[in-house]
Amino acid sequence: MKKLLKFILWILGILVVGIVILLVYVKTMLPNVGEPEEMTIKLSPDRIERGEYLANHVMACMDCHSTRDFSLFAGPVVPGTLGQGGEIFDQNMGFPGRFISPNITPAKLSNWTDGEIFRAITSGVSKDGRALFPVMPHPNYGQIDPEDIKSIIAYLRSLPPIENEVEKSKPDFPMNFILNTIPKKATFQKTPPKSNKIEYGKYLATAASCADCHTKQEKGKIVGEPFAGGMEFQFPDGSILRAKNITPHPDTGIGYWTEEMFIEKFKTYGDSTYNPHKVGPGDFQTMMPWMLYGKMKTEDLKAIFAYLKSVKPVENDVEFFSPAQ
């Protein structure tokens, strides 16, 4: 009996030592995506214009890196806050920690090289080597054309500098260890030709990270079918929004939508005459930054719609909104 007990303790001791070694490795040796690439991005008008379009209306960087006014429908960006950071994504919203969007104006990025910004966006590693939680979907950004990433960097360099210090993000346990395993080296692709509408739409949907919000997740882990909706967003008043099913299922998704319906839905909010209405406690509200996406080019919206119509239809009837009790 004593020999058995000693054997069990010996095995447990080995396991403990192994776990400690693994945790030390994860904490000290990861992430490991390589050094930032040496690059100098020319701030040409064409590049800045392309970057502005992507950062505001496709990838919607300014959705998270600015201040949004949720007293108005769809939380439009507050003028004068573009890129200043400070938006909080915490446990109340289902995240495994407290994550704060950083300031990405030149006031903060002036001491970053273009290569360091490029690595952060595409591989999820900060200037100081910290792993970035993919609330900024760097796994998606690492799949798109590097020229588009460079255009975004050029645009960020052109923003008015805003002095705004924000606190560092703090992942909960065990995410503080898991987080270091997430960053990966980018696997870039060239922008598909617009004539290939489905592939071009897939490219745009990846850049826009449509699946990230429209796929059910729990504590940062995907638990639902892609694009089938169900991810929950809780507002401060206790109301809960759930992302819609945007697969082409005929009853619970967008199978019955026409291209015209899809485009009109977006363009309604991109119209210069649209003024978002006031939203009171318990009233319907959305996280979708409609005023940003509403200015996406019509040909790009058509391509995204064509791609969504091509994905696997999933039956998932989502209760879209639950007002505060």
The span from the CA of 204 to the CA of 64, in Å, is: 18
**Confidence (pTM):** 0.92
DSSP 8-state class, residue 240: E
Maximum average pLDDT range among 91-105, 279-293, 306-320? 306-320
Full DSSP string of 149-161: HHHHHHHHHHSPP
- Of 154, 164, 316, 323, give the one whose Cα is nearest residue 245: 316
Q: Are 147 and 153 in contact (CB under 8 A)?
A: no
Per-residue pLDDT reduced to its tens digit, 47-80:
999 999 999 999 999 999 999 999 999 999 999 9
Q: What is the largest CA-CA distance in the chain?
A: 82
**What pLDDT, on a 0 to 100 scale, did the predictor assign at position 7?**
64
Residue 221 has pLDDT above 80, yes or no: no
Q: What is the pLDDT of residue 238?
A: 85
> Ramachandran region of residue 58, left (φ > 0), alpha (ψ -120 to 50) or beta?
alpha
Residue 321's beta-bridge partner residues? Answer: 241
- Which strand ranges, in their side-by-side order, compose the sheet holding 88-89? 88-89, 97-100, 170-171
CA angle 196, 251, 306 (to 5 degrees): 10
Q: Is the pLDDT of residue 10 over 80?
A: no
The dihedral region occupied by 2, where left means phi > 0, alpha psi between -120 and 50, and beta the remainder, is alpha
Tokens 């909706």 found at = 229
Q: What pLDDT does 13 receive?
A: 72
Predicted pLDDT of residue 20? 66
Q: Which of 8-22, 31-45, 116-130, 289-303 is least confident? A: 8-22
| The pLDDT of residue 22 | 64
**Edge-to-edge strand order for the sheet containing 321-322?**
232-234, 240-242, 321-322
Which SS3 state, helix, strand or coil, does residue 274 take? coil
Q: What is the sign of the dihedral through the CA atoms of 134, 205, 265 and 60? A: positive
Q: What is the pLDDT of residue 24?
A: 66
Q: Cβ atoms within 10 A of the Cβ of 271, count? A: 11
77 three-class SS: strand
Structure confidence at residue 94 (pLDDT): 79
Task: Please tell me the predicted confidence (pLDDT) of residue 133.
Answer: 94
Query: How confident is the model over 71-115, as pLDDT tens digits?
Result: 999 999 999 999 999 999 998 877 899 999 999 999 999 999 999
Please report the pLDDT score of residue 325 as a whole number. 74
In tens, the pLDDT along 126-174 reads 999 999 999 999 999 999 999 999 999 999 999 999 999 999 999 999 9
CB contact set of 220 (below 8 Å; sequence gap of 6+): 95, 96, 133, 134, 175
**Amino acid 299: pLDDT:** 98
Q: Whole-angstrom Cα distance, residue 49 to residue 246?
A: 30
Question: 71 near 62, Cβ under 8 Å?
Answer: no
Is the pLDDT assigned to residue 237 strictly greater than 60?
A: yes
> Which tens digit of pLDDT belongs to each residue from 171-215?
999 999 999 999 999 999 999 999 999 999 999 999 999 999 999
Q: DSSP secondary-structure letter at 55?
A: I
Task: Report CA 111 to chain centroid distance, whole Å.
Answer: 24
pLDDT digits (tens, 9 = 90+) for 15-41: 767 666 766 655 666 688 999 999 999
**Distance from C-alpha of 103 to C-alpha of 111, rounded to nearest angstrom:** 13
Strands (E), the chain: 88-89, 97-100, 170-171, 217-218, 221-222, 232-234, 240-242, 321-322
pLDDT number for residue 280: 87
pLDDT at 102: 97
Is residue 232 scored above 70 in pLDDT? yes
pLDDT attached to residue 254: 97
